[in-house]
C-alpha cells in the first residue's frame, strides 16, 4: 500500500486549472512509480469555476485511477502544504492491494428514510455491512440532508468508520462541484466504501465546544454578524469572555 499527495497553486507560467491538473498528475504518477492508483481524491478551489468540467476528464486521462472522487474546497492540503481561500488544486492518491474500493453518488431524494431497513442503505452505497466497510464522504451541504445521511449510515453500518468533509467555497446551491470518476455533479454526496485489507482511523482536525449561553442574531449582512440579542456583537462576545473561568479565558486568547 502506498499513499501520496500534492498541492498545485498558480505560478507565473502555469495558472490554468488544466495546467495544474496535468502537473499534479505527473507528480503523483512519479511518486507512485508509474502504478495506476486504486483511489484518487481531488479538491479544487472555487476560483476555477469555469474549468470544473476539465477536472475529471484530465485526471482520468492522465492517471487512469480505478476510482476518483472529489469536490470543491475553500481550504486545501497536500504535499505538506496548506492554503486557505486561494486558487489551488490538491490531489491524494493511493495504491491499495487487497482492498475493494466502491464509489457511489446519492442524491437527497434517494436517501432512504431513517426507519427503512439497513438493506436500503446497503443498496445505495453498493456494499453490505458484512464487509465491514469504512467510508469517505464528500457531501454538498446545500443539496443533501447531511444529518440524515450520517444517521442512516450509522444505523446500517454501526461498526464502520465514516470520515470526510463538506464541499465548500460556494455561497448558494449549484456552485459547488462533486466529482465521481469521469462525471461532474452539482448535488448530493459522493463517497467511497473501502473494505478488505485496510484499517481506517479518525483524526479530528479542529475541535470546539460552545461557551456562554445561546444568543439570537439580530443584525447581520450575509456571513458578518453585527448584533447579538440587540447589542453589538463585540460587546456580546466580551460579556461571554469575562464570565469564563481562567483556563477557558486562556484558551480564548489563543
| Tens of pLDDT, residues 139-185 | 999 999 999 999 999 999 999 999 999 999 888 888 999 999 999 99
Q: Is 132 left (phi over 0), alpha (psi -120 to 50) or beta?
A: left
| Residue 228 confidence (pLDDT) | 97
40 is written with which cell numbers? 484518487
pLDDT digits (tens, 9 = 90+) for 190-237: 999 999 999 999 887 767 788 999 999 999 998 899 999 999 999 999
Residue 26 clears pLDDT 90, i.e. is over it: yes
Confidence of residue 13 (pLDDT cuts 50, 70, 90): low
pLDDT per position as a tens digit, 67-123: 999 999 999 999 999 998 899 999 999 999 999 999 999 999 999 998 999 999 999
- Give CA 137 to chain center in angstroms: 7
Amino acid at each position: 500500500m502506498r499513499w501520496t499527495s500534492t498541492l498545485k497553486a498558480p505560478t507565473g507560467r502555469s495558472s490554468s486549472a488544466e495546467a495544474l491538473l496535468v502537473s499534479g498528475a505527473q507528480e503523483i504518477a512519479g511518486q507512485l512509480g508509474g502504478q495506476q492508483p486504486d483511489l484518487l481524491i481531488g479538491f479544487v478551489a472555487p476560483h476555477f469555476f469555469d474549468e470544473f468540467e476539465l477536472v475529471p476528464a484530465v485526471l482520468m486521462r492522465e492517471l487512469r485511477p480505478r476510482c476518483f472522487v472529489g469536490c470543491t474546497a475553500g481550504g486545501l492540503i497536500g504535499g505538506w502544504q496548506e492554503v486557505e481561500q486561494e486558487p489551488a488544486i490538491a490531489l491524494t492518491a493511493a495504491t491499495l492491494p487487497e482492498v475493494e474500493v466502491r464509489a457511489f453518488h446519492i442524491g437527497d431524494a434517494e436517501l432512504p428514510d431513517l426507519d427503512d431497513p439497513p438493506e436500503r442503505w446497503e443498496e445505495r452505497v453498493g456494499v453490505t455491512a458484512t464487509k465491514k466497510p469504512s467510508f469517505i464522504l464528500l457531501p454538498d451541504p446545500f443539496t443533501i440532508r447531511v444529518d440524515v445521511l450520517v444517521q442512516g449510515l450509522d444505523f446500517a453500518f454501526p461498526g464502520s468508520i465514516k470520515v470526510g468533509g463538506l464541499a465548500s467555497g460556494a455561497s448558494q446551491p449549484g456552485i459547488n462541484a462533486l466529482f465521481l470518476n469521469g462525471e461532474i455533479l452539482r448535488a448530493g454526496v459522493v463517497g467511497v466504501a473501502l473494505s478488505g485489507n485496510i484499517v481506517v482511523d479518525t483524526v479530528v482536525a479542529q475541535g470546539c465546544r460552545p461557551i456562554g449561553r445561546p444568543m439570537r442574531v439580530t443584525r447581520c449582512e450575509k456571513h458578518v454578524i453585527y448584533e447579538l440579542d440587540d447589542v453589538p456583537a463585540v460587546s456580546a462576545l466580551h460579556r461571554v469572555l469575562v464570565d469564563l473561568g481562567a483556563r477557558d479565558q486562556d484558551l480564548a486568547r489563543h
